[in-house]
Structure 1
Amino acid sequence: MKNRTALITGGASGIGKKTAILLAEKGCQVIINYRNSEAEAISLAKHLEHCYGTKCLAVQGDVALEEDCIRIVNKSMSVFKTIDILIHNAGPYIHERKKMTEYSSDEWNYLIHGNLSAAFHLSKQVIPIMRKQKWGRIITLGYDRVETSPGWIFRSAFAAAKTGLASLTRTIALEEAENGITANMICPGDITNDWKEKSIQDALVAEKYTTNTGTGRQGTGEDIARVISFLVEEKSDFITGSIIPVTGGIDVLGKALKHH
């Protein structure tokens, strides 16, 4: 992966941060997009440059806004010659549990724009760059069973956006295959809060003290980052249009319903 450049939206923390670290470790140059976490993004970029000797950049921008998507790509291109890999990891989410009718138009628009339209605006900017070099990798993030467009109680806007994103990801895969560009979606299981930045080793240690079901251990950001890192490799070009669950075999939506 040496000298490939990866743009990771929402890369300053969580799964995005774990992915940035893993790709830098492989020799990728990394562009870390952030909305508010300026200090974290800059510190991560410096840390990656120092540890792995790879060039990194922190770029502010809210992917829910079209003009910010354009600015993020322009800023990245002014520093790097190309963008080889786009990881659309940023995804606004409203934790409050409420029915569709209780969503305001602003909330609805923000979730649809941040989770779905952002992928359109960013891909529209980067695909022509990838076409030129006949090589590209686009990764989006979904949720468990998203390809079956299931209902998700109290998550109407988020679920609708991600379901649309699953279809969009597969369409990009079909349209851009001739240009050496792949597009895949990864669907993380129930990876919460701190676990998004933890390693598999952390989970194995914690497992000794819990009686979790499923695989018996907690999912981590590293579990997702490893799959992303595999999909962006040169030899992973045959994997495209895939929606890959990384859930530890746990039924995430079923769990959501039980809590109801």
Structure 2
Amino acid sequence: MKEATKPVAWVVGGSKGLGVMVAKGLAQDGYRIVINYRRSVEPAYKLANELEQIGVETLVVQGDVSLVEDVKRMSAEVLSRWGRIDALVCAAGPFTFKRTPLIEFSDATWREMVDGNLSGVFYLVRELLPTMRRQGHGRIITFGFPEVESSPAWPGYGPYAAAKAGLASLTRTMAAEEAPHGITVNMVVPGDIRDPYKEAPIAKARGQRDPRTPIGRSGTGEDIARVVRFLAHPDSDMITGAVIPITGGLTY
């Protein structure tokens, strides 16, 4: 593939967690990889080094996607470096692990959940969609939680759930608006994937019983990456506006 036409994938939050296997998988599919980090500088460069060792061109950028100024700066850096963006995978998103009644959340935590999980995606697509439109091609993939498309109650996690439910609607709105431009927008829904499986291959979870997941094993980063890679493929253009569960049957 000629360098000028070699596709570029930005895995937002790809330095740690589920984004790691996504970045590795897309690299195997021939993408140049953008990795951004907020504070995890060492994991970001460790991943970049791993990819570069196998001949993958990478770009590491620092910034917080919940801050519009950071998104503008990072997007400009990506487009200045490679002049294109073919896949945007929005794997980043803060989460509160302590179950908390809604009225006990602080203003700061509410803003962190909404800006990190919803506003950040808006900021990113506003910067990158014009380039995708000019290309006549693009793939945008967001991340949700089980049954998010039905706006379910999730007691104890209200701000996060509200932001992700909003993101599901935003995903489908973008899918409808961008379809004429050759751009697909879909959401993947991971199940209850915990360490050490977030950055693991499927083989590591085989034979390891997980009572939380009906299928019997934990999900892994590779499970998510397999679906993202499928959605990012040029021949997956008939799939847009979809919310795809990768949960092993788990519901909340």
1:89 paired with 2:91, answer yes
C-alpha spacing 1:94/1:235, structure 2 compared with 1 (3 Å): same
Q: CA deviation at 1:193?
A: 2.2
Q: CA deviation at 1:249?
A: 0.9
8 Å Cα contact 2:213/2:247 also seen in 1: no
Q: Paired residue for 1:236?
A: 236
Q: Paired residue for 1:66?
A: 68
Q: CA deviation at 1:203?
A: 0.8
Give the Cα separation in 2 of the matches to 1:160 and 1:37. Answer: 26
Q: Paired residue for 1:4?
A: 7
Q: Paired residue for 1:258?
A: none
Give the Cα separation in 2 of the matches to 1:57 and 1:129. Answer: 18
Cα shift readout 1:211-255 (whole Å, capped 9, x = no counterpart) = 67511211111100100000000100000000001110122x1xx
Give the Cα separation in 2 of the matches to 1:62 and 1:213. Answer: 32
Q: CA deviation at 1:79?
A: 1.3
Q: CA deviation at 1:65?
A: 0.8
Unaligned runs of 5+ in 1: 254-260
Taking only the aligned residue pairs, the percentage that are identical comes to 47
**Equivalent residue of 2:115, what SS?**
helix
1:24 paired with 2:27, answer yes
Give the Cα separation in 1 of the matches to 2:82 and 2:180. Answer: 25
Give the Cα separation in 1 of the matches to 2:75 and 2:34. Answer: 10
Q: CA deviation at 1:206?
A: 2.5
**Quick check: which one's helix share is greater?**
1
- Mapping of residues 122-141 of structure 1, within 5 Å: 122-141=124-143
The number of equivalent residue pairs is 249
Q: Paired residue for 2:40?
A: 37
Amino acid at match of 2:97: H
Cα shift readout 1:64-108 (whole Å, capped 9, x = no counterpart) = 111111111111112111111111110011112111111111110
Q: Which consecutive aligned stretches of 4+ in structure 1 deviate over 3 angstroms post-superposition?
A: 210-213
Q: Paired residue for 1:80?
A: 82
Q: Paired residue for 2:119?
A: 117
8 Å Cα contact 2:21/2:225 also seen in 1: yes
Give the Cα separation in 1 of the matches to 2:35 and 2:196. Answer: 19
8 Å Cα contact 2:184/2:239 also seen in 1: yes
What TM-score, normalized by structure 2, do the two folds share?
0.96
C-alpha spacing 1:138/1:96, structure 2 compared with 1 (3 Å): same
Stretch deviating more after TM superposition (74-83 or 163-172): 74-83
Amino acid at match of 1:199: P
Unaligned runs of 5+ in 2: none
Q: Paired residue for 1:163?
A: 165
What TM-score, normalized by structure 1, do the two folds share?
0.93
Amino acid at match of 2:223: D
8 Å Cα contact 2:138/2:184 also seen in 1: yes
Give the Cα separation in 2 of the matches to 1:101 and 1:249. Answer: 31
Q: Paired residue for 2:59?
A: 57
